Amino acid sequence: MSSPHIAVYGATGHTGRLVAAELRARGKDVILSGRDAGALKALSEELGGAPVHQATLDDPAALRELAGQANVLIHCAGPFTHTGEPVATAAVEAGCHYVDHALEQHHTKWIFDTLQEPARRKGITMVTAMSFYGGTGDLLAGAVAEGLTGIDRVITAYAVSGWRLTTGAKQTAELLFADTRRITYTDGEQHVGYVEPRNAVFPFPPPLGPRTMIAPVPFSEVVTVPRHVRTRHVEAQLTAHTFEEEQAFTSEHVDAATRAGSRFTVATQVITADGGSAGQVSGHDLWRLSALASVEAAVRLAGGHGRPGVYSPAEAFAPGPFLRDLERLGLFTLTLPGKAES
Ligand SMILES: NC(=O)c1ccc[n+]([C@@H]2O[C@H](COP(=O)([O-])OP(=O)(O)OC[C@H]3O[C@@H](n4cnc5c(N)ncnc54)[C@H](OP(=O)(O)O)[C@@H]3O)[C@@H](O)[C@H]2O)c1
- Mean pLDDT across 25-44: 98
The H or E element spanning position 91 is helix 80-94
The answer to whether 264 and 132 are in contact (CB under 8 A) is yes
Q: Are residues 151 and 273 in the same domain?
A: yes
pLDDT digits (tens, 9 = 90+) for 276-310: 999 999 999 999 999 999 999 999 999 999 999 99
**Best of 9, 43, 166, 255 to mutate for ligand 1, by most ligand atoms within 8 A of CB?**
166
Atom number, ligand 1, closest to the C-alpha of residue 78: 45
Q: Return the best residue to mutate from 19, 35, 46 for the ligand 1 pocket (most ligand atoms within 8 A of CB).
A: 35
Q: Are residues 268 and 294 in the same domain?
A: no
Please check whether residues 158 and 266 belong to one and the same domain. Answer: yes
Query: What confidence tens digit (pLDDT) does each residue in 116-152 have?
Result: 999 999 999 999 999 999 999 999 999 999 999 999 9
Residue 140: inside a domain, yes or no?
no
**How many Cβ atoms sit within 10 Å of the Cβ of residue 79?**
21
- Report the chain's C-alpha Rg in angstroms: 19
Lowest mean pLDDT across 89-93, 121-125, 260-264: 260-264
Q: What is the pLDDT of residue 253?
A: 84
Q: Can you give the pLDDT at residue 2?
A: 60
Stretch among 38-47, 66-75, 195-204 having the lowest mean pLDDT: 195-204
- Distance, CA 98 to ligand 1 centroid (Å)? 16
Same domain? For 253 and 186 the reply is yes
Interatomic CA distance for residues 188 and 232, integer angstroms: 4
Output the CA–CA distances (angstroms, integers) from residue 105 to 16, 72, 175, 183, in the order listed: 21, 23, 11, 7
CATH number at residue 119: 3.40.50.720
Tell me which residue has its CA closest to atom 41 in ligand 1. Answer: 13
Provide the pLDDT for residue 341.
54
**Residue 59 forms part of a structural domain:** yes
Is pLDDT at 332 greater than 90 in this prediction? yes
- The whole-number pLDDT of residue 248 equals 81
Task: Say if CB 50 and CB 28 are below 8 A apart.
Answer: no
User: Is 221 in the same domain as 111?
Assistant: no
Whether 151 is covered by a domain: the verdict is yes
Please tell me whether residues 157 and 93 are part of one structural domain: no
pLDDT value at residue 342: 52
Residue 250's pLDDT is: 79
**Are 72 and 110 within one domain?**
yes
More confidently predicted of 90 and 245: 90
Does residue 249 have a pLDDT over 90?
A: no
Share of the chain above pLDDT 70, in %: 98
Let me know whether 294 and 280 are in one domain.
Answer: no
Stretch 146-159: mean pLDDT, rounded?
A: 97
pLDDT at 270: 98
The mean pLDDT of 224-242, rounded to a whole number, is 97
Structural domain range at position 83: 5-131+290-320
Do residues 207 and 109 both lie within one domain?
no
Question: Do 107 and 42 reside in the same domain of the chain?
Answer: yes
Q: Is residue 58 part of a domain?
A: yes
pLDDT at 229: 98
Ligand 1 nearest atom to the CA of residue 134, by list position: 1
Segments of the chain assigned E as strands: 5-9, 29-34, 52-54, 72-75, 97-100, 125-127, 151-161, 182-186, 189-193, 198-203, 210-215, 231-239, 263-272, 277-284, 309-311, 333-335
Calculate how far, in angstroms, residue 96's C-alpha sits from the geometric centre of ligand 1: 21
The structure's pTM equals: 0.97
CATH classification at residue 277 = 3.30.360.10
Q: Does residue 152 form part of some domain?
A: yes
Give residue ranges with CB within 6 A of ligand 1. 10, 12-16, 34-36, 39, 57, 76-80, 82-83, 101, 103, 131-134, 166-169, 172, 290
Ligand 1 centre and the CA of 92: distance in Å?
A: 21
Alpha carbon of 83 to ligand 1 centroid (Å): 9
From residue 141, alpha-carbon distances to 45, 280, 320 in Å are 41, 10, 10
The reply to whether 279 falls in a domain is yes
pLDDT at 338: 76
Give the pLDDT band (50/70/90) at residue 1: very low
CA of 10 to the centre of ligand 1 (A): 6
Whether 36 and 75 map to the same domain: the answer is yes
Q: Within a domain: residue 142? A: no
Report which residue type is found at 285: D
Sign of dihedral through CA atoms 186, 187, 190, 192? negative
Domain assignment present for 61 = yes
Co-location of 93 and 242 in the same domain:
no
Of 105-109, 196-200, 330-334, the poorest mean pLDDT is in: 196-200
The count of structural domains within the chain is 2
Pick the more confident residue, 123 or 337.
123
Name the pLDDT band for 339 (thresholds 50, 70, 90).
Answer: low
